[in-house]
């Protein structure tokens, strides 16, 4: 794994945006795997600024998001579809029909998982997958114990994940208990992975990711086996501050 050390969140965001833009220039028809949460918002802001300033176009780009809460409509302010539109898609020239997020309000969520997995395949797979990490090592919403062979599936969220994400909701009770997430195997099939880690709360996760054993108890540890992973980590996450 290639590690890029940066000073802080802002530097991480700038570096990540630069990394994505380089890949986009090399391949204007790139399929990007995108993530939500607090970590990538700064990166998306930089992409928007670049679009406005330099006119970088996303008209031939496709995006697939990692996950979505079950039970929230796409226009719910806490749905990941809403997040993506608000944080990025509405501010660049990507046609919304080329942006994919699992449908958490599907009548049959199991069927939705199968549809989503096929969709990724039909897009030709993911060229570059952007990832954050939960402090318990989750990637996407693959909580500890998720099988490494898993494809897009329904997951019960851990109490600690619901608590961590409650900051985006009015109360903990409002945080959904289930989500649809790309599986570990779906993520591992991406040709390249860009993982962002910032802040002291991710310090333990960073240590486990770099030095821990590869185990389903810590889902992100599987990334040690991926041939093309770049980590952009700030000093707090690296325990250098």
Binding site for ligand GLP (CB under 6 A): 35-39, 66-67, 132-134, 140-141, 161, 165
Comparison of 56 and 182: residue with beta carbon closer to ligand GLP = 182
51 is catalytic: no
- Least distance in Å: CB of 207 to ligand GLP? 16
Q: Which residue number has the CB closest to ligand GLP?
A: 132
Tokens of 103: 């449908």
39 Cβ contact list (under 8 Å, min separation 6)? 132, 133, 196, 197, 198
- Least distance in Å: CB of 30 to ligand GLP? 20
143 is catalytic: yes
From CA 234, how far away is CA 132, in angstroms rounded? 13
* Long-range pairs for 86-90: beta carbons < 8 A, 24 or more residues apart: 87/36, 87/40, 87/41, 87/44, 87/45, 88/34, 88/44, 88/47, 88/48, 89/63
- Least distance in Å: CB of 57 to ligand GLP? 26
Select which of 138, 153, 165, 234 is catalytic: 138
136 is catalytic: yes
Select which of 65, 117, 136, 234 is catalytic: 136
Of 54, 63, 64, nearest to 25 (Cα)? Answer: 54
Comparison of 115 and 162: residue with beta carbon closer to ligand GLP = 162
Select which of 117, 143, 234, 236 is catalytic: 143
- Least distance in Å: CB of 39 to ligand GLP? 3
From CA 7, how far away is CA 152, in angstroms rounded? 35
Comparison of 30 and 35: residue with beta carbon closer to ligand GLP = 35
Residues in a beta bridge with 232: 4, 196
111 is catalytic: no
Chain-centroid distance, C-alpha 1: 18
The residues annotated as belonging to the active site are 67, 136, 138, 143
């Amino acid at each position: 794994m290639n590690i890029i050390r940066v000073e802080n969140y802002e530097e991480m965001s700038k570096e990540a945006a630069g990394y994505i833009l380089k890949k986009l220039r090399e391949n204007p028809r790139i399929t990007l795997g995108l993530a939500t949460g607090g970590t990538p918002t700064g990166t998306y802001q930089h992409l928007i600024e670049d679009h406005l300033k330099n006119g970088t176009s996303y008209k031939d780009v496709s995006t697939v998001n990692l996950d979505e809460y079950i039970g929230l409509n796409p226009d719910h302010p806490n749905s990941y579809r809403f997040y993506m539109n608000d944080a990025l898609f509405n501010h660049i020239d990507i046609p919304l029909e080329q942006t994919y997020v699992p449908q958490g309000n599907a009548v049959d969520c199991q069927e939705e998982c199968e549809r989503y997995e096929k969709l990724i395949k039909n897009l030709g797979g993911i060229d570059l997958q952007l990832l954050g990490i939960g402090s318990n090592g989750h990637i996407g919403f693959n909580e500890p114990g998720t099988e490494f062979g898993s494809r897009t599936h329904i997951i019960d969220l851990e109490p600690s994940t619901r608590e961590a994400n409650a900051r985006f909701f009015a109360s903990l009770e409002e945080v959904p208990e289930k989500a649809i997430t790309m599986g570990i195997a779906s993520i591992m099939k991406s040709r390249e992975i860009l993982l962002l880690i910032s802040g002291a709360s991710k310090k333990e996760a960073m240590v486990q990711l770099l030095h821990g054993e590869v185990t389903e108890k810590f889902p992100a540890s599987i990334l040690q086996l991926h041939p093309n992973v770049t980590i952009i980590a700030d000093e707090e996450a690296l325990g250098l501050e």
